[in-house]
Amino acid sequence: MKLSVLAEKLALKPVTAMYDKEISGVYISDMVSDVIANAKPGDLLVTVQIHNNVIAAANLVDIAGIVVTQGKLPSEDVRKMAEKAQIPIFSTDLSRWQVTTMLYEAGVR
C-alpha cells in the first residue's frame, strides 16, 4: 500500500514533505535500538518518539515512513533531517494502539 493511500485512510497529518513510498509492513516501537534490530526495510514505524535518533534509525533501516502518535510534533530540525533522508513523518492524535488497530483493518500487517 502506498503512503498516500494509507495517510488518507487513517486521516494522518503530514508534517514533512510526502515521499509516496510503498509500505511492506509495520513496526511499532518507542526504542531506537529495537527499531534498528528488528524493523525491516519498507516498514511503517509507529512511535511516540520525536527526536533525531529516531530519524537516524529509520534511515539506517530504510523505513518507509513514520507515524507519530498522541499529537506529538517533531521540531524543525527533526523535520529537516527527515526530509533530507526522504522519510515522511505523519502525526495523529490517536494512541499507538488505535493506529495499530486501524492499520490492521486497512490490511497493513
pLDDT tens digits, residue range 29-53? 999 999 999 999 999 999 999 999 9
The 8 Å CB, 24+ separation contacts for 94-97 are 94/69, 94/70, 95/69, 95/70, 96/28, 96/46, 96/47, 96/48, 96/69, 96/70
Pairing of strands 43-47, 13-14: unpaired
CA distance 74 to 51: 7
Domains of the chain, start order: 3-105 (3.40.1390.20)
Instruction: Evaluate if residue 109 carries a pLDDT over 90.
Output: no
Helix (H) or strand (E) holding 43: strand 43-47
